[in-house]
Amino acid sequence: DVKVTQSSRYLVKRTGEKVFLECVQDMDHENMFWYRQDPGLGLRLIYFSYDVKMKEKGDIPEGYSVSREKKERFSLILESASTNQTSMYLCASRGPKGVEQYFGPGTRLTVT
């Protein structure tokens, strides 16, 4: 079974702080994704990575950056957290021949 883990389930940060959200998958998947989930909007893609050190912007990349130094790890960075980044963040991975994505448990981030 694919296992995707995220470093925190709940996180509270202050406005202006730098925030790191970590995601690790154990299936040697090439593709990894970061989404945010907001009520009434479903999941929206922030960034994705199709290989180590490669990254592509998704639909809402503003205010975020990512890092993929190792195949199993994909980090989402909020350079200067703002209250409108309060949300549920979900990480996913996908193998080279797969189509479906496998998700982690999510991190609920609150920025005060």
Partner 1 sequence: AQKVTQAQTEISVVEKEDVTLDCVYETRDTTYYLFWYKQPPSGELVFLIRRNSFDEQNEISGRYSWNFQKSTSSFNFTITASQVVDSAVYFCALSEAISGGYNKLIFGAGTRLAVHP
Window of 11-19, 43-51, 61-69, 71-79 that interacts with partner 1 by CB under 8 A: 43-51
**Structure-block tokens of residue 58:** 């998704």
List the one residue out of 17, 29, 8 whose CA is nearest residue 80.
17
> Considering only residues 12, 105, 110, 112, which one is a binding residue for partner 1 as defined by CB under 8 A?
105
**Structure-block tokens of residue 16:** 């202006």
Spatial separation of the C-alpha atoms in residues 26 and 24, rounded to whole Å: 7
Q: Interface with partner 1 includes 11 (CB under 8 A)?
A: no
Query: With respect to partner 1, which residue has the nearer C-beta, 78 or 104?
Result: 104
Spatial separation of the C-alpha atoms in residues 3 and 26, rounded to whole Å: 6
Q: Interface with partner 1 includes 52 (CB under 8 A)?
A: no
Spatial separation of the C-alpha atoms in residues 76 and 22, rounded to whole Å: 7
Q: Interface with partner 1 includes 43 (CB under 8 A)?
A: yes
Q: Interface with partner 1 includes 1 (CB under 8 A)?
A: no
Using CB under 8 A, list all residues that contact partner 1.
9, 31, 33, 40-45, 48, 50, 56, 58, 88, 90, 92, 99-106, 108
